[in-house]
A and B are shown apart, each in its own frame.
Chain A
Amino acid sequence: MENLRGSPPEQLQSHPNGASRGRAMLTFMASDSEEEVCDERTSLMSAESPPPRCCEEARQGLEDRESAAQWFQNTCARHRRAHHGGVPWPSPSGFPQRSQDSEEDLDEDADRYMCSGVPGQPSGLEEELTLKYGAKHVIMLFVPVTLCMVVVVATIKSVRFYTEKNGQLIYTPFTEDTPSVGQRLLNSVLNTLIMISVIVAMTIFLVVLYKYRCYKFIHGWLIMSSLMLLFLFTYIYLGEVLKTYNVAMDYPTLFLTVWNFGAVGMVCIHWKGPLVLQQAYLIMISALMALVFIKYLPEWSAWVILGAISVYDLVAVLCPKGPLRMLVETAQERNEPIFPALIYSSAMVWTVGMAKLDPSSQGALQLPYDPEMEEDSYDSFGEPSYPEVFEPPLPGYPGDELEEEEERGVKLGLGDFIFYSVLVGKAAATGSGDWNTTLACFVAILIGLCLTLLLLAVFKKALPALPISITFGLIFYFSTDNLVRPFMDTLASHQLYI
């Protein structure tokens, strides 16, 4: 990100109308994460982090303010929120399980918009910058998505617990142990319908809550969800890993470990903490959630649900009356940030601005300091615990001596992490333990992510992040598992190389 310092942003910023300030942001429609507690959608937000609490830079002139607001209005920034309450549900095995995490899923639809909308720029330069910022964001997202998938696949391949059938979620009541294929297919479709309707209902509920400003309720729910994820699921996970490797651990040590892990996680996620730690925690809870899904969703239902979620994502993001769209528009009207909890942020730096400005001038992503939302909302933006000077002052703005905050990272909703990991984890869990299938799905998802970012850069409007990746993942999974795997197995066993 250092190389962005002296280059195009300055050029763009010196433009009088440089509302975009050279910040490339990609709008992504956050895909809805349904039941997942942390389903954050992918909001590849390029980095407009909300301004520091007490300062905002007075960089942009009035016309910037207007053009920024206008420009933002034109992009469909959507914040998706999905939340569902989790209620412990006794499983057939007697162990209280949650069918879904009660963690609220507030998808932050980070609006990443390409700031190529600066008039007067030569189009080649603009496009180049667009591509460059898009490329940078691709890289910034590859690493966390890869890490999450690696954790999930490693766990699936080594810990037996997550591949054992041990009951189903309450949201998928139909069993798949049926005598005929047709019955099984029907059951999985019914399971999917139930799951998707639960998700839609939850999303609408969330939108209603947000519309009627029940912020405390949402915050409380969010905290309850992350509590459960960080403590209960971690405890289960740790227990299973220790069982697998036959390591004995006494309860006091276990308590200390889980307590420290959970408490630091809560602090990092909901309050302040080092950015890297927060990112690591978000990746871990996404992985935990994905593992829960992999364990409790039956085979065919999981694949149909993945497909249906992508379709729902597409529809919800692109339809005018979609709940997510309404959510974002409400947030826009109120000029507030959507709840930033449960969003992975690779945003880097904050700079301390000098003068205070009307927050609305900052553009959509820089939302004003809102005391009501202070305690939770800004934390998930991944603020580092200290502001840092990032950029030299802009030449075009006299009086701006201080740097503005410049977020050079991207934000990705955790829901997308989770569903990507569910797909790859299912590919690793099912079948004959074939690595080719797993790798093919992994590559498919990364390609989808890349393409989505590119499309975003090209179309410059919010797009859902799940559909392309999941579609590619499904295609690759089925074709590799059925066509490529037998072929490559034969080749490898006879040491034939093609």
Chain B
Amino acid sequence: MTAAVFFGCAFIAFGPALALYIFTIATEPLRVIFLIIGKASEGLKTINPDETAPSMRLLAYVSGLGFGIMSGVFAFVNTLSDSLGPGTVGIHGDSPQFFLNSAFMTLVIILLHVFWGIIFFDGCEKKKWSALLVVLLTHLLVSALTFISPHYGINLVSTYLIMVLMGIWAFFVAGGSCRSLKLCLLCQDKDFLLFNQRSR
């Protein structure tokens, strides 16, 4: 299989996750490590209760991203490395879109993990057990949907639908609102990352 397949599938699967990492975590590694260390060793004694909420959300996002990347990498990296070698896809009657499908599924799994992480942490914080249950059930649902694997259409479309729903839920859980979304899209939000970067 060609290098184009390799690079294409690699970027489809890991591009957004990498972008998320580069733009949100790599620029502030200290903050992330410090946050995790602080949480782990309770060293941040000076943090007042008001500050726990944003930092917990950050932790939820980071851990969701971490779990998502791990899960995606472990699921897909061997397939990717096989795509560089010789072979014909689908020679035994399987779908010739094997790699593409795997790449898209990996992408959606990574994003889903991010959203699940945020919702789950928030559910634990606020003791909303229904949120935990929903996260668990949708995870099982998404995995079960992959059992119908040759029917990529149903599989992918429904999984992406679930991802969009989870994304919207996570957005509102993390404190977003329609107003803040509008400000962000119109680049008027001072807290938005890109805005800050541009103004630096």
Chain A interfacial positions (CB closer than 8 Å to B) = 124-125, 127-128, 131-132, 134-136, 138-139, 433-436, 439, 454, 458, 484, 488-489, 491-492, 494-498
Contact = CB atoms under 8 A, between A and B. Distances in A.
Given A131-B38, A488-B74, A495 B30 contact: no
Nearest to A458: B41
A348 to B, nearest CB: 16
B161 interface: no
Contact of A495 (B29, B34, B98): B98
A127 B78 contact: no
Interface string B75-109: 11111010000000000000000100110011001
Contacts of B81: 433, 435
23 contacts: A125-B46, A131-B37, A131-B41, A131-B43, A132-B30, A135-B33, A138-B33, A139-B29, A139-B33, A434-B78, A435-B81, A436-B77, A439-B74, A439-B77, A454-B37, A488-B74, A488-B75, A488-B78, A489-B78, A491-B75, A492-B102, A497-B75, A497-B143
A497 B37 contact: no
A127 B105 contact: no
Shortest Cβ-Cβ A-B pairs, 4 listed: A135-B33, A495-B149, A435-B77, A497-B146
For A125, A127, A132, A497, the residue with the greatest tally of chain B CB atoms inside 10 Å of its CB is A497
B131 to A, nearest CB: 21
A451 to B, nearest CB: 10
Nearest to A132: B34
Contacts of B76: 492
Contacts of A492: 75-76, 78-79, 102
A439 B73 contact: yes
Contact of B149 (A132, A458, A494): A494
Nearest to B79: A492
B45 interface: yes
Interface of B: 29-30, 33-34, 37-38, 41, 43-46, 71, 73-79, 81, 98, 101-102, 105-106, 109, 142-143, 146-147, 149
A454 B40 CA distance: 11
A135 B147 CA distance: 43
A484 B33 CA distance: 28
Nearest to A136: B30
Given A139-B33, A497-B143, 10 more contacts: A131-B43, A135-B33, A135-B34, A139-B29, A436-B78, A439-B74, A458-B41, A495-B149, A496-B143, A497-B142
A332 to B, nearest CB: 30
A189 B53 CA distance: 53
Nearest to A495: B149
A54 to B, nearest CB: 35
Nearest to B35: A135
Contacts of B143: 496-498
Given A492-B102, A495-B105, A124 B75 contact: no
A262 to B, nearest CB: 33
Nearest to B155: A495
Contacts of B142: 497
B74 A128 contact: no
Given A128-B46, A131-B43, A132-B30, A497 B105 contact: yes
A434 B82 CA distance: 10
B47 to A, nearest CB: 10
Contact of B146 (A135, A139, A488, A496): A496
A496 B78 contact: no
Contacts of A488: 74-75, 78
B43 A127 contact: yes
Given A124-B45, A128-B46, A139-B33, A495 B78 contact: no
For A136, A495, A496, the residue with the greatest tally of chain B CB atoms inside 10 Å of its CB is A495
Contacts of B34: 131-132, 135
A14 B43 CA distance: 24
Given A128-B43, A496-B146, A135 B37 contact: yes
A147 to B, nearest CB: 16
Contact of A135 (B30, B71, B73): B30
B74 A495 contact: no
A127 B146 CA distance: 48
Contacts of A127: 43, 45
Given A495-B149, A496-B147, A497-B142, A128 B44 contact: yes
A343 to B, nearest CB: 24
B135 to A, nearest CB: 15
Contacts of A434: 78
A435 B146 CA distance: 23
A436 B74 contact: yes
Nearest to B101: A495
Nearest to B147: A496
Contacts of B43: 127-128, 131
Contacts of B149: 494-496
Nearest to B98: A495
Nearest to B152: A495
A125 B37 CA distance: 15
A497 B159 CA distance: 11
Contacts of B71: 498
Contacts of B75: 488, 491-492, 497-498
Contacts of A484: 74
Nearest to B30: A135
A496 B142 CA distance: 10
Contacts of A131: 34, 37-38, 41, 43
Contacts of A494: 149
Contacts of B102: 492, 495
Contacts of B146: 495-497
B167 to A, nearest CB: 18
For A135, A489, A494, the residue with the greatest tally of chain B CB atoms inside 10 Å of its CB is A135
A312 B34 CA distance: 32
